[in-house]
Amino acid sequence: MPSRSYKDILDDICEDNCNVKEDCGGYCTLKEILVSMHPSPRLLIQIKCIEKFKFEESQRNGSDIGWQEASIRWVDEGFAKKFNDVYNEDMTFKETYRKTIKP
């Protein structure tokens, strides 16, 4: 059983993009929707990893590569397999991404 709660995982993957405390008094509609839908933490973290990969690849490319291209590259470059090998419920998104991307 993971040591982090579902909300902790959502807070972790939204940390870079969310100013909930300042903007909304601690309430976030997107997080509430995700809590009610309850997609697997593994899926959420892999989507966040692909988002970061998309951002980094877009910077290298000089333009937005888009979600479809990022997802194709994620698989073709072996990161989906590596994610599967390194994923651990107790690791943060950043730890998971670093271990997935680094050779």
Q: How far apart are CA 60 and CA 23, in angstroms?
A: 32
Structure tokens given for 50: 């692909």
pLDDT at 54 exceeding the cut of 90? yes
Higher pLDDT among residues 95 and 31, named by residue: 95
pLDDT at 1 exceeding the cut of 70? no
Domain-wise residue ranges, the chain? 6-101
Query: What average pLDDT does the structure give for the chain?
Result: 84
Total residue count of the chain as it appears in this document: 103
Map 58-99 to HEC letters: HHHHCCCCHHHHHHHHHHHCCHHHHHHHHCCCCCCHHHHHHH
pLDDT at 27 exceeding the cut of 70? no
- Determine the pLDDT at residue 7: 75
